[in-house]
Amino acid sequence: MNFFERTLASFLNAVEHALEAEELAKANGLLQRLDPRIKVIGILALIIAAAMAHKFWVIGAVFAVALALAVSSRVSLLLLGKRVWIPVLLFTGIIALPAPFVIPGRVLWRLPGLDWPLTAQGLLSARYLVTRVETAATLSVLLILSTPWTRVLKALRVLRVPVVLVVILGMAYRYIFLLLESARDMLESRRSRMVGELKGSDRRRLAAASVGVLMSKTLQLSGDVYSAMLARGFRGEVYVLDDFQTAALDWIMVAVFFVLAAGAFYYGR
Amino acid sequence: MHIPDGYLSPSTCAVLYGAAAPFWYIALQRVKKVMTTRVVPLLSVMAALSFVIMMFNLPLPGGTTGHAVGVAIATIILGPRASILAISIALSIQAVFFGDGGITTLGANCFNMAIVGSLVAYAVYRLAAGRAALASPRRVAAAALAGYAAINASAFCAAVEFGIQPLFFKDASGAPLYAPYPLSIAIPAMMIGHLTLAGLAELVLSAGVVAYFQRTNPTLLTLTAPGNLAAEEEMAGAASPGMWRTVRPLWIGLALLLVLTPLGILAAGTAWGEWSARDFSNLRAREKMARASQNTAPPADPPRGLERLSSLWTAPFPQYAPSFVRRPAVGYALSAMFGSGAIILVSLMAGSLAARMRGKTP
């Protein structure tokens, strides 16, 4: 696969991911029905609890909670496996692989031939890393898959993120898809005019020129967007409509998240 | 390079959020001040662009491909402040929406790539490009160098963050709780990949895009090139009295730290490695050294180099306690305040000297 195909594939992957998230966010599950503010704070608390835990079983328990949340929110475990568990295992697993042989500690076994010592502490540290990363990644993906981006952004206001930043984040997200499309069209049209293979230096020049063109287009786009904003009466003030309403389920889940996170903090010390 | 959740301890994450916060604050204050101008849409679309650039597979020499962050090119076109914000926003969207990089580690990722990356890229680019013309090949080389240096500086920061985890965070059995490898493994492991593939990807992108703009739209390169209106304005803005408002939180923080210096007296023992030659012959000091060094007994005699060099320079405040102050606690606090004051004074003098020199150059 050359750089055209690889780049186009990663663009497609991003768009697919966004569509998938949008579809799932519409499903009628537990997390989807929750007030985004409660969801963001609750899941953040669980991620922090998993990150702070000093005991393996506590991390496992938080992971079990994440699984329960996924099932009750109609997020298929197959999707989680494909999106989170396998990629994380491949990446973090490879990073953690040498740890049992490198970390000093009580020797359990020696690798025949090479005589490398496999230590208990090393095994434990590899297990900590992989389970912690899997748990946190599952929780954050659940948050993303169950909440439309605009709602996540509004919920960020509760966490005291400045309104300017929320607006910029929202606008940036919107234009990502426009720019992805623009970049895809550009690469596709170039590819359709190609006969045979390009030299390495030509490929690099082409990639740099594509980024350059995209950058010029982006700067022009920012001018257009600004004119449009002025035309609609933008005077430098930003308002975000907070139209959240909490129901009984939200308050029950506040209590559930609180108990779970507090338990994980307490027992994980 | 995008550190996922679980690799860094929550306290490291908190420290790095704290380290990134003043940079975000200053950049945001500036955005708020010029809110009615085109900064909001500009930052938004540039953040979107950074996100898209991070997805490009760049062809590298040797037939492989690699991803770049695009921090150097963002800095060259937008200047360091806007680049810090644009890259931070792109990283936030990656973390929160695409799960690329953790949420607890977002501060660390922004600190490494957006802040350290932008500042290193800016310094290297300005230094290497000097006053070369906009179309000069020197600017292409400077951009290449800036990209390569920026990404490697970011990787080095990440490696240090990984490497300090096993020093501080272990469970009861001594097993590391987070990233398990010490600095001696984490630094080479991170740097080999970045000095080669990732560094090369950033180099190809930065140099290629600057060369492209030199041919097609050189005005885009003027912001970080001296001798032009926009760059001068940015410098003047940095030195104007209005700057006081943006740096005020930093001064307040510094003042708070100065006030809190006496807390240092409460810390037990001597900082590890900060021993004097005399401590090696003092029984109690030797005990403390052994305790701090995981019960490894210190050598019987002080290292010869330490002995020889210790007489070379006697600081004005030896052992942080001037002789005219009887109580060591007061002396400690005074020394700390004097030291910080001296550093601030030197910085202010250097700043005013630099400003004066800048005023003289045409």
Tell me: the pLDDT tens digits for B29-85? 877 776 556 788 888 888 888 888 888 877 877 767 778 888 999 999 888 888 999
Cβ B157 vs Cβ B114: under 8 Å: no
The answer to whether position A249 is within a domain reads yes
B231/B355: higher pLDDT? B355
CATH of the domain at B178: 1.10.1760.20
The kind and range of the H/E element at B224 are none
Cβ contacts of B71 on chain A, cutoff 8 Å: none
How is residue A161 annotated by DSSP?
-
A36 contact B CB<8A: no
Do the Cβ atoms of B208 and A21 come within 8 Å? no
Q: Which of B216, B210, B69, B213 is nearest to B140 (CA)?
A: B210
Integer Cα distance of B46 and A179 in angstroms: 10
B9/A164 Cβ within 8 A: no
Q: Which residues contact B307 (CB under 8 A, 6 or more apart)?
A: B277, B301
Report the largest interatomic distance among the alpha carbons of chain A, rounded to a whole angstrom: 75
Confidence (pLDDT) at A27: 82
Which pLDDT belongs to residue B248? 57
Would you say residue B247 lies in a domain?
Answer: no
The pLDDT, as a whole number, for residue B277 is 64
Q: Do B209 and B300 sit in the same domain of this protein?
A: no
Distance between first and last Cα of chain B:
42
CB B237 within 8 A of CB B223: no
CB contact under 8 A, B181 and A171: no
Average pLDDT per block of 10 residues along chain A, 269 residues long: 79 84 84 86 91 90 94 89 89 86 82 80 89 92 84 77 82 88 88 81 86 89 88 76 76 86 84
pLDDT at B291: 65
Between residues B242 and B339, the one the model is more confident about: B339
**pLDDT band at B148, cuts 50/70/90?**
very high
Residue B198 sits in the same domain as residue B281: no
Residue A214, judged by CB atoms within 10 A of its CB (0-12, 13-18, 19+), counts as: buried
Which residue has 């030797």 as its token pair? B286
Collapse the DSSP code of B295 into the 3-class scheme (helix H, G, I; strand E, B; otherwise coil) and give the result. Answer: coil
Confirm or reject contact between A83 and chain B (CB < 8 A).
yes
Q: How would you classify residue B99: left for phi > 0, otherwise alpha for psi between -120 and 50, otherwise beta? A: left
| Residues of chain B by 3-state class (helix, strand, coil), percent to 5 | 70, 0, 30
**What is the reported pLDDT for B210?**
93
Partners of A118 in beta bridges: A109
Question: Are residues B269 and B236 both part of a single domain?
Answer: no
Task: Please check whether residue A229 lies inside any domain of the structure.
Answer: no
- Distances from the Cα of A23 to the Cα of A65, A74, A144, A243, angstroms: 23, 11, 11, 22
Burial class of residue A30, CB neighbours in 10 A (0-12, 13-18, 19+): middle
Confidence of residue B348 (pLDDT cuts 50, 70, 90): low
Mean per-residue pLDDT for B321-337? Answer: 54
Q: Are strands B58-59 and B65-66 parallel, antiparallel or unpaired?
A: antiparallel
A147 to chain B: closest CA residue: B97
Query: B243-259 and B10-33 are packed helices; what angle lies between their axes, rounded to 10 degrees?
Result: 150
The reply to whether A150 touches chain B by the CB within 8 Å rule is no
Q: Where does the pLDDT of residue B208 fall: very low under 50, low under 70, confident under 90, or very high at 90 and above?
A: very high
Three-state SS for A34? coil
Contact across the interface for A50 and B181, Cβ inside 8 Å:
no
> B59: which chain A residues are within 8 Å (Cβ-Cβ)?
2-3, 200, 203-204, 207
Helix B39-53 vs helix A200-231: angle between axes, to the nearest 10 degrees? 150
Q: What is the per-residue burial (b if ≥16 Cβ within 10 Å, else e) of A78-110?
A: eebeebbeeebeeebeebbebbbbbbebeeeee
Q: In this structure, is residue A7 part of a structural domain?
A: no
Cβ of residue A154 closer than 8 Å to a chain B Cβ: no
Beta strands of chain B (E only): which ranges? 58-59, 65-66
Distance CA B99, CA B6 (A): 13
Is A180 contained in some domain?
no
A215:B77 CB<8 A:
yes
Helix residue spans in chain A (DSSP H): 3-26, 30-33, 36-52, 56-72, 77-80, 86-96, 99-102, 120-146, 149-158, 163-192, 200-231, 248-268
- Is residue B142 scored above 60 in pLDDT? yes
Tokens 């003042």 appear where?
B255
Contacts of B11 in chain A (CB under 8 A): none
Nearest Cβ partner of A218 from B49, B63, B89? Answer: B49
Searching chain B, which residue's CA lies closest to the CA of residue A233? B36
**The predicted structure's pLDDT at residue B355:** 63
CA of A54: which chain B residue's CA is closest?
Answer: B171
Which one, of B24, B110, B49, B71, lies nearest residue A172 by Cα?
B49
- Does residue A235 or residue B160 have the better pLDDT? B160
Asked if the structure places residue A42 within a domain, the reply is: yes
User: Domain count of chain A?
Assistant: 1
Say if B335 falls within a structural domain.
no
Q: Is A170 part of a structural domain of the chain? A: no
Binary contact (B175, A124; C-beta < 8 A): yes
Measured CA to CA, the distance from residue B362 to residue B26 in angstroms comes to 29
Supply the range of the domain harboring residue B73: 10-240
Give the C-alpha separation, A227 to A219, whole Å: 13
The verdict on A236 touching B (C-beta cutoff 8 Å) is yes
Burial class (CB in 10 A: 0-12, 13-18, 19+), B327: exposed
Instruction: Verify that B19 and B160 share a domain, yes or no.
Output: yes
**Chain A residues with CB-CB distance to B179 below 8 A:** 129
> How far away is chain A from the Cα of B1, in angstroms, using its nearest Cα?
12
For residue A118, being part of any structural domain is answered with: yes
Provide the 8-state DSSP code for B170.
Answer: B
Strand intervals (E) in B17-67 = 58-59, 65-66
Query: At which of B240, B272, B293 does a domain end?
Result: B240
Q: How many independent structural domains does chain B possess?
A: 2
Inter-chain CB proximity B174 and A96 less than 8 Å: no
pLDDT the model gives residue A63: 94
Distance of residue A112 Cα from the nearest chain B Cα, in angstroms: 23
Ordered DSSP codes for B71-101: HHHHHHHH-HHHHHHHHHHHHHHHHHHH--S
Alpha-carbon distance B224 to nearest alpha carbon in chain A (angstroms): 16
User: For residue A172, which residues of chain B lie inside 8 Å, CB to CB?
Assistant: 43-45, 47-48, 51, 89-90, 93
CB B55 within 8 A of CB B90: no
Counting Cα atoms < 13 Å in the Cβ hemisphere of B280 gives: 13
> Is residue B142 a part of any domain in this protein?
yes
What whole-number distance in Å separates Cα of residue A239 and Cα of residue A33? 25
Asked if residue B55 is part of any domain, the answer here is: yes
Query: Which amino acid is present at B18?
Result: G
Residues B130 and B223 in one domain: yes
Q: Which residues of B touch A133 (CB under 8 A)?
A: 4-7
Q: How far is it between the farthest Cα atoms of chain B?
A: 73
> Is residue B348 assigned to a domain?
no
In angstroms, the CA A36 to CA A74 distance is 17
Task: Please tell me whether residue A108 adopts helix, strand or coil conformation.
Answer: strand
Q: Give the structural domain span for A38.
A: 30-159+244-268
Mean pLDDT along residues B208-214? 92
The residue that leads in pLDDT, B212 or B223, is B212
Is the distance from CB of A89 to CB of A158 less than 8 angstroms? no
- Give the best-scoring range by mean pLDDT among A37-41, B119-123, B166-170: B119-123
User: Looking at the domain assignment, is residue A18 inside a domain?
Assistant: no
Instruction: Calculate the average pLDDT of chain B.
Output: 76
DSSP string, A242-257: ------HHHHHHHHHH
Q: Which pLDDT score, from 0 to 100, does residue B236 have? A: 43
Which positions in chain B touch A135 (Cβ < 8 Å)? 6
Average pLDDT over residues B118-134: 92
Strand partners of residue A119: A107
Tell me whether A160 touches chain B (CB under 8 Å): no
Is A146 an 8 Å CB contact of chain B?
A: no
* CB-count burial class (<10 Å; 0-12, 13-18, 19+) for A117: middle
Please answer yes or no on whether B4 and A92 come within 8 Å at the CB atom.
Answer: yes
To the nearest whole Å, the CA of A71 is away from the closest chain B CA by 19
Q: Would the pTM count as exceeding 0.80? A: no
CB B216 within 8 A of CB B223: no
Query: Smallest CA–CA separation between B271 and chain A, in Å?
Result: 25
Alpha carbons A153 and A197: distance in angstroms, whole number: 44
| CB atoms closer than 10 angstroms to residue A71 | 13
Q: Is residue B58 part of a domain?
A: yes
Residues B220 and B186 in one domain: yes
**Pair (B232, B269) in one structural domain:** no
Nearest to A175 among B44, B97, B175 (CB): B44
Find chain A residues with C-beta within 8 A of B70's C-beta: 211
> What amino acid is encoded at B348 in this protein?
L
Q: Does A122 sit within 8 Å of B65, measured CB to CB?
A: no
